[in-house]
Amino acid sequence: MATAQNHAARRRLSEPAQESELLVRGARDVPPVRLGAAPEWGLGAAGDDRFGTAWARLPADEPADEPTLRTALAVTLLRYDGDDTDEVVLGSARGAFTVRVSGTLDEMRRRPQTPTGDPVVAGTLPGGDGEALPAPAPAFPLTFSLVRRADGRLWLRCDHALSHVCPAIAEQLARHVGHVYGQVATSPQTPAAAVELFDGGERRRIVRLGSTAPLPQDPAGTVHEAFAAVAAGAPDAVAVSDEDLELSYGQLDHLAGVFAANLQARGIRAGDRVGVCLDRSAELIAVLLGVLKAGATYVPVDPAYPADRIAYTMDNASARLLVTRLGEPVAQDTCPRVTPDQLLDDLTFEAPTGLGGANTAYVIHTSGSTGRPKGVAVPHGNVLSLVRAAGVGLELGTGDVWTLFHSSAFDFSVWEMWGCLLTGGRLVIVPHFTSRDPEQFRELLVEHGVTVLNQTPSALSNLLSVAYTDLPVRLVILGGEPLDARMLLPWFDAYPQERCRVVNMFGITETTVHVTAQPVTRDLALGATRSVGTPLPGWHVYVLDSAGRLLPPGAAGEICVAGAGVAQGYVGRPDLTAERFLPDPYNGDRMYRSGDRGRLRPDGALEHLGRIDDQVKIRGFRIELDEIRSVLLESGPVRAAAVVVRSPDGGGANGVRIDAYVALDGGDVAAVRTHAAAVLPDYMVPATVTEVAALPLTASGKVDVGKLPAPRITTRSATDHTPTADDAMAARLQELWSELLGFPIGLDDDFFEAGGNSVIAVKSSAAMRAEGMPTLRLRQFYRHPTIRQVVAALKAAES
């Protein structure tokens, strides 16, 4: 195995009980070697002590040559391992040694090998005639040997421990080693880096594994035309409802037409971009649909965003107009504002036919490493393809009731809105504070009979903190962030698969919300599956190495997505578009380099293994840590900054906190955090900003995260203040909040200024309920964010 992995293996084998020696005696002795840990790409079954055998036929006229085999094995293993090293440790009849994978194949074959004591996963043994084992038992977890059968054909034999490598991977590995063996023998001057791991037939097999059948052409060319067709078929069916308003499909279509006509009257033309900055409501849906009917592109912005970010987003998108109910324009605004009321000049006006048709449906902005968000342009056809591709398998239809739980500025909302309305369902708007309060959200689900529930794992975890056994849901779709499937075990206790299906979907804004779908069962949850499933029809998934070469199943690399969902690119960023949106070398058109790490399994399912870069997902939001760092550096006194993500309460994604560290030339951390809050949305504002004299660095000049101090907050009261005897509730809250936040907090410290958020607030309420204590609604919690205020509010409610 490659050296980097052997270092990890050496750490795991540091205890004598974990070391293993295998002495095989046959015609010649094989010296004892320490066996390495199972490779991740092997997909082996831990604890299975059986062996299997895989074969690959070599050309008849090739010589049976162990140095050639050793070279081929080293080149192939390095490609599978994907480490940033050029060394591989192999075993042989002489012991363990290091092979350097560099230069030409002939140079590799002739190069002396360096003895090593590293653990061994794979090795070669001298072959022989017939099909007898090269030794009474395989010497290594992967033992390769050459066998010439009676017919004169040369075969490559791979004996593999099932604990290390599953049969499907062993079979393909043998084929790949055999293919490289032929190149070593016939093209010895080929550079090792230029070796082809597999032939055309094998390449086509792997590409098919990550692909699905194309989608038939949709008769509707745009989202609003598809919606109009649904509305024409059931004009009286309820389309959308919020706390104050309920609209049928016919009413929604008509209202959107009025908005469209008035937008056109204000000069909006096909292809223009229109900002929409409205709270979740039925009105929001009508405005978005109206923008599309006008032939324009909607650019959603969350009203909770700071004014600077809203202004930047409109400027970046070159928006012609901003539809909002926010107050007066700010100095940064570059486009005029209009309220929805001003677009309702004539409610009886019949919009002209033929509106719309521009290619781009929406531009959603995601976090960017330059310090400012980047806009992703997505065409109508992508949305229609998404709904058709997912709709059939999920059996979506007119009897379903959905929720709009997420902000329109988060791409999960695209699926919630159009997945519902283009399949004839009823969309229930979830108010902002209800979406943050699991008890209120549960009540909404029951009251409206919601059947299709879309959640990030973090949000579902919140729902699991309250009574949830009486929900009418038949389908839960998870997405937006990685899933630890074990969290679903309590859900499966209440909702067996025949009562409610759970589907985990992996997706990216740049590939139109969803890419793959994985039905999750109790067994998969017990096994902590990392699978995100197979691609949707019309989508293609490839796993490529750092050089852009296709990797085989099992090997981890960058997830690249092609097919029906690939966006048009980044608005105003041709450089970044050219870097991330590349020609698809396997199916034509284009593919998107996701920056996500993953692997294909032999059955075609994709495993998601996290991010390659510094991007993270927090409560479903994609965040570039470099964007936060850039904003911090814009604050005058900051000369150096670092941003790290921690989970102080061990809650995984649900307890994640962003901590910032700054080296200052004057000023104070409070001003730095105030600056960040004025630019960044709340989910990106660091929970803590800690001053350091200088950032600790590693030998390579990177920030040494392990040497950063514990985060510090500025408290308003002494954290050792002891509440009075009749304030046992305050004492318990102080303990609880300090535990959840990861540092001491005083009785008068603002929970949210100290790094708390709605997720941690929900955890606090759940813990209080578990101890029989009263709790506040989340809306009240925001109004009473200190321990002293919470206790006072609770006592007032009791009196």
Instruction: Note the pLDDT tens digit of each residue in 618-664.
Output: 765 777 787 788 788 787 788 778 888 876 555 444 457 788 888 88
Q: Residue 128 has what pLDDT?
A: 64
With bands split at pLDDT 50, 70 and 90, how would you rate the model's confidence at 36?
Answer: confident
> For residues 522 and 460, which has the higher predicted lDDT (pLDDT)?
522
Task: Share the mean pLDDT of the chain.
Answer: 85
pLDDT per residue as tens digits for the range 336-361: 999 999 998 755 455 544 445 569 99
Q: Exposure string (b/e) for 601-628, b if CB count within 10 Å is 16 or more?
A: bbebbbbbbeebebbbbbbbbbbbbbbb
CATH 3.30.559, the chain: domain bounds: 3-197
The residues, ordered by sequence, that sit 6+ positions from 471 with a Cβ below 8 Å of its Cβ are 442, 445, 446, 450, 453, 495
pLDDT at 252: 97
- The pLDDT of residue 207 is above 60: yes
Superfamily for domain range 728-798: ACP-like (1.10.1200.10)
Asked if 363 and 567 count as a contact pair (C-beta separation under 8 A), the reply is no
Kindly report, as residue ranges, where domains of CATH 1.10.1200.10 are found in the chain: 728-798
Over range 188-209, report the average pLDDT. 95
State the average pLDDT over residues 732-740.
82
Q: Which of 29-43, 550-564, 713-727 has the highest mean pLDDT?
A: 550-564
Show Cβ contacts of residue 798 under 8 Å, excluding neighbours closer than 6 positions.
774
Q: 267 or 763: whose pLDDT is higher?
A: 267
CB within 8 A of 450, min separation 6: which ones?
401, 402, 403, 428, 444, 471, 472, 473
For 757-799, the pLDDT digits (tens) are: 777 777 788 888 878 888 877 777 777 888 888 888 887 777 6
Residue type, 395: E
Cβ neighbourhood burial of 196 (10 Å; 0-12, 13-18, 19+)? middle
- Between 104 and 63, where is the model more confident? 104
Higher pLDDT, 350 or 85: 85
> According to the model, what pLDDT value does residue 16 have?
27
Round to the nearest angstrom and report the end-to-end CA distance of the chain: 69
660, β-bridge pairs: 643, 689
What is the average per-residue pLDDT within 411-440?
A: 94
pLDDT greater than 50 at residue 1: no
As a whole number of Å, the CA-based R_g of the chain is 30
pLDDT band at 509 (very low <50, low <70, confident <90, very high): very high
Tell me: pLDDT of 19 over 70.
Answer: no
pLDDT at residue 254 greater than cutoff 50: yes
Query: Is 670's pLDDT higher than 90?
Result: no
Delimit the CATH 3.40.50.12780 region(s) of the chain.
225-380+388-436
Predicted confidence at residue 59, as pLDDT, reads: 74
User: Average pLDDT of 460-484?
Assistant: 89
pLDDT given for residue 371 in this prediction: 63
User: Which of 17-21, 72-76, 549-553 comes out lowest in average pLDDT?
Assistant: 17-21
In 200-272, DSSP assigns E strands to: 238-241, 246-248
pLDDT exceeds 80 at position 169: yes
Question: What pLDDT shows up at residue 745?
Answer: 79
**Percent of the chain predicted with pLDDT > 90:** 53
Mean pLDDT of 557-571: 96
**b/e map of 420-459 (b: 16 or more CB within 10 Å)?**
bbbbbbbbbbbbbbbbbbbbbbbebbeebebbbbbbbbbb
**Number of alpha helices (DSSP H) and beta strands (DSSP E) in the chain:** 23, 36
Greater confidence (200 vs 765) lies with: 200
Q: What is the pLDDT of residue 645?
A: 83
For residue range 86-136, list pLDDT tens digits in order. 899 999 888 899 999 999 999 999 999 899 888 899 999 887 665 554 445
Q: Which 3 state secondary structure label does DSSP give 309?
A: helix
Average pLDDT over residues 481-491: 87
Nearest to 507 by CA among 667, 382, 645, 357: 382
Predicted confidence at residue 188, as pLDDT, reads 95
Q: Give 548 or 656, the one with higher predicted confidence.
A: 548
Fold of 3-197: Chloramphenicol Acetyltransferase (3.30.559)
pLDDT band per the 50, 70, 90 thresholds, residue 321: very high
Given a cut of 60, whether residue 694 has pLDDT beyond it is yes
Burial string for 699-720 (b: 16+ CB within 10 Å, else e) reads: eeeebeeeebeebebebeeeee
Nearest to 565 by CA among 794, 383, 299: 383
Q: For residue range 364-401, list pLDDT tens digits in order.
A: 998 765 568 899 999 999 999 999 999 878 999 999 99
Q: What is the DSSP string of 353-411?
A: TT----SEEEEEEE--TTSS-EEEEEEHHHHHHHHHHHHHHHT--TT-EEEE-S-TTST
Quote the CA–CA distance of 309 and 681 in Å, as a whole number.
8
- The predicted structure's pLDDT at residue 354: 45
Please determine, for residue 701, whether its predicted confidence score (pLDDT) is greater than 60.
no
> Averaging pLDDT over each range in 186-195, 338-347, 714-723, 734-743, which range is the top one?
186-195
Instruction: State what percent of residues in the chain have pLDDT above 70.
Output: 86
Over residues 295-319, the mean pLDDT reads 93
Average pLDDT over residues 572-587: 94
Q: What is the pLDDT of residue 161?
A: 94
Alpha helices in 660-727 (DSSP H): 669-679
The residue type of 206 is: I
**What CATH number should be reported for the domain whose range is 623-707?**
3.30.300.30
**Superfamily the domain 225-380+388-436 falls into:** ANL, N-terminal domain (3.40.50.12780)
pLDDT of residue 30: 60
